[in-house]
A = this chain, B = another copy of it.
């Protein structure tokens, strides 16, 4: 185990992703929390907002500038549109940034404009940033000081779909993605839809054919396979706290057997600790990855329609956000990638 201690700061520490970063980082042997900021709660103790940390993380919430000042690496978890300014400060001070927001995720500025309604105002920053799902993209990381941490849905989908799209054994434009997310995916902000009595014993889709993760999903497919495909993506809100299940439908080329697909997946992920291709006959379920950095993938074939069904399950807050961000930090600092991330899901 390396003896280094990275000084870590979190901007937006009282949002769900921020709080999850704190939870994971205090168990990370090579990190120490240097500073936490919150616009809403500056001056309060972190443990006043999250009493689970009483006695363990009683740090007083400070400003963004103080976080940048005191840290080697800064995690920013903010609504979109706010990260460029922070990134500029980090770069100018020689600090590293892992951005959990959307501002550095899309390589196409026009996609960003179309889906988020904003422009890139400091374009140089985007050249210094790298979007990374480590299992798929770590090879291309060249030490960029900004890492764009992927969205939760795109992570589950890219991990689930990459081996089959890379193999080429599928029918273009046949991809249908039906995803289901736990409620933390909607964030800590209060809304009627996430008010307990309105959300409990409820289930339904939202932002049908209009979710901002769509271009990120398609760009990931392009990066892995060189294929420019259009996907349909429908997210649903599920009454659990955590987890995403993406059920992905892909029509196979003729004569592609499920066992061949399975072998391809196992081969694709053979060196990956966090991606588990389940034995044929099993079905992925978010309960087996909750609170963990694992992604479970199960594969199924409907011979009647020649469709492959890929089910990918992750914890939206860990592999879909804060855990992957730490995994990215580990890459950034050349630590073993699983450092601080080895917890297994509680099964109940």
Mask: chain A, 10-43; 1 = CB below 8 Å from B; 0 = not? 0000001001100100110000000000000000
Contact between B23 and A346, CB atoms less than 8 A apart: yes
Give the chain B neighbours of A191 by CB distance below 8 A: 190
Among B208, B214, B291, contact of A346 (Cβ-Cβ < 8 Å): B291
Contact between B345 and A305, CB atoms less than 8 A apart: no
**A44 close to B (CB within 8 Å):** no
Mask: chain A, 145-189; 1 = CB below 8 Å from B; 0 = not? 000000000000000000000000000010010101011100010
Q: In the bound complex, what is the Cα–Cα distance between A71 and B348 (angstroms)?
A: 27
**A259 close to B (CB within 8 Å):** no
Contact between A239 and B239, CB atoms less than 8 A apart: yes
Contact between B245 and A52, CB atoms less than 8 A apart: no
CB-CB nearest 5 A-B residue pairs: A204-B285, A209-B302, A202-B287, A197-B348, A190-B190
Shortest Cβ gap from A278 to chain B (Å): 7
Total copies of the chain: 4
Q: In the bound complex, what is the Cα–Cα distance between A277 and B176 (angstroms)?
A: 24
Give the chain B neighbours of A276 by CB distance below 8 A: 54-55
Q: In the bound complex, what is the Cα–Cα distance between A54 and B201 (angstroms)?
A: 19
The residue in chain B whose Cβ has the minimal distance to the Cβ of A291 is B346
**A60 close to B (CB within 8 Å):** no
For this complex, into which size category does the number of interface residues on chain A fall? 35 or more
Give the chain B neighbours of A198 by CB distance below 8 A: 188, 287, 347-348
Give the chain B neighbours of A50 by CB distance below 8 A: 347
Give the chain B neighbours of A346 by CB distance below 8 A: 20, 23, 52, 291
**A249 close to B (CB within 8 Å):** yes
Among B53, B54, B196, B201, contact of A199 (Cβ-Cβ < 8 Å): B196
What are 15 A-B interface contacts by the 8 Å CB criterion?
A: A51-B296, A52-B288, A52-B292, A178-B249, A180-B180, A202-B286, A203-B285, A203-B287, A204-B286, A204-B287, A205-B247, A209-B300, A209-B301, A230-B304, A238-B238
